[in-house]
Structure 1
């Protein structure tokens, strides 16, 4: 493994260790800045598309209840246009981890984008219960079918929004990721899911545990299949 990837990996691991701190975002961005120099040069474009599309969807969502459902930001500050500043950055970070993981498994662009969007949904199965338990945002209405009080429409919205910015990224970028970095995609993704479970408040530990098991159920068989090819 090349030195720049090793250094970036250190930042990513530290970010997960310090997940409950705002430094989490900063450490990830440092790691991504290193990777964008050589191992994944188009990474800033993915982060930009995720930020723009995710932020736009959040602004629309908080005003017209689409595409996620009816919700509002409360304790998550600072805010821009009623949306927590952390959120568009999180779209970029989670999007990069999900895309990197999907790219390791699938060369076909359609399968890659669909799987990356699915991985984003699994991430939010942990994120949303944690954040709502802190009242970072609250759901004004839920649905008969819900995930621990969170409407199912939220996860459909996550899938669609993720799919849009993944598509735009590939459509308008020359995507080249070094193999040594691709191999780190699944471990980094599972580390994200594990630390969500570890740091989750006791009141929402169950959904994060289920989400972590789901990530294992999705990733490990594909990982074994990929290794056997």
Structure 2
């Protein structure tokens, strides 16, 4: 069993389970990212692309209201009006989402990744709004006070993020191919981690929020947890299918 994969999963799980408002999880995720970069060069790219594109669209969002809707941050420190925490959040959430699907074909990643990101925000946004870290203008069509445009915006931005990641990775096809070749020859224990454990870490993120939900947040966090469960099961099934196909080659 690859120790780096196993340690990375354990760090993520501990960071999620013991966390309150994401700080410990962020630290654990960064350490996991650094460790996993020794096995795959695309993980640092995922984090950087997610953080940079997320920052650009957050800046556009607080200035124009596009694509998320009109909102205001109360969460210093800032870079050009965007909280540093939020910038890191885009990078970390991109990493967590990509971690569940990195063995899948590119076309499947393009479809699944934006939904993984939106489902994370189904839990995160209500918590952060409740804590007063940002506020939304009232909207007739909303999800527990959060405009639906926010989630449409998350989908669009996440689609741009994964498309950019795939383009960057394809330009480095030879190097990524060597990395994947090593993984295809890895033990069944490693396959268990990548097929089941990393998606489990994704699900634990929303599940933990629901378990510790305040009464006023139980409904939105239950919805986020259920959607997270559904997409996690879908990802596991897709990972199993890819694993079966690769074993026949």
Q: Is the 8 A contact 1:99 1:113 kept in 2?
A: no
Q: Is the 8 A contact 1:98 1:189 kept in 2?
A: yes
Q: 1:66 to 1:221 in 2, by over 3 A?
A: closer
Q: Counterpart of 1:88? A: 87
Does 2:118 match 1:121? yes
Measured after TM superposition, the shift of residue 10 of structure 1 is 2.1
Backbone CA RMSD of aligned residues: 1.9
User: Which secondary structure does the structure 1 equivalent of 2:102 belong to?
Assistant: helix
> What's the TM-score once normalised by structure 1's chain length?
0.89
Of the structure 1 ranges 211-220 and 56-65, higher mean CA displacement relative to structure 2 is found in 211-220
Measured after TM superposition, the shift of residue 60 of structure 1 is 0.9
Q: Is the 8 A contact 1:123 1:193 kept in 2?
A: yes
The 5-angstrom pairing of residues 43-62 of structure 1 reads: 43-62=43-62
Bigger radius of gyration among the two = 2
Correspondent of 2:161 among 143, 165, 175 = 165
Measured after TM superposition, the shift of residue 224 of structure 1 is 4.3
Name the structure with the higher helix share.
Answer: 2
Q: Counterpart of 2:41? A: 41
1:48-79 deviation per Cα after TM superposition (whole angstroms, max 9, x unaligned): 100100011111101110110000101x2222
1:186-216 deviation per Cα after TM superposition (whole angstroms, max 9, x unaligned): 1111111111212333211211111111122
Q: Counterpart of 1:26? A: 27
Q: Is the 8 A contact 1:15 1:27 kept in 2?
A: yes
Does 2:204 match 1:195? no
Unaligned runs of 5+ in 2: 185-189, 245-249
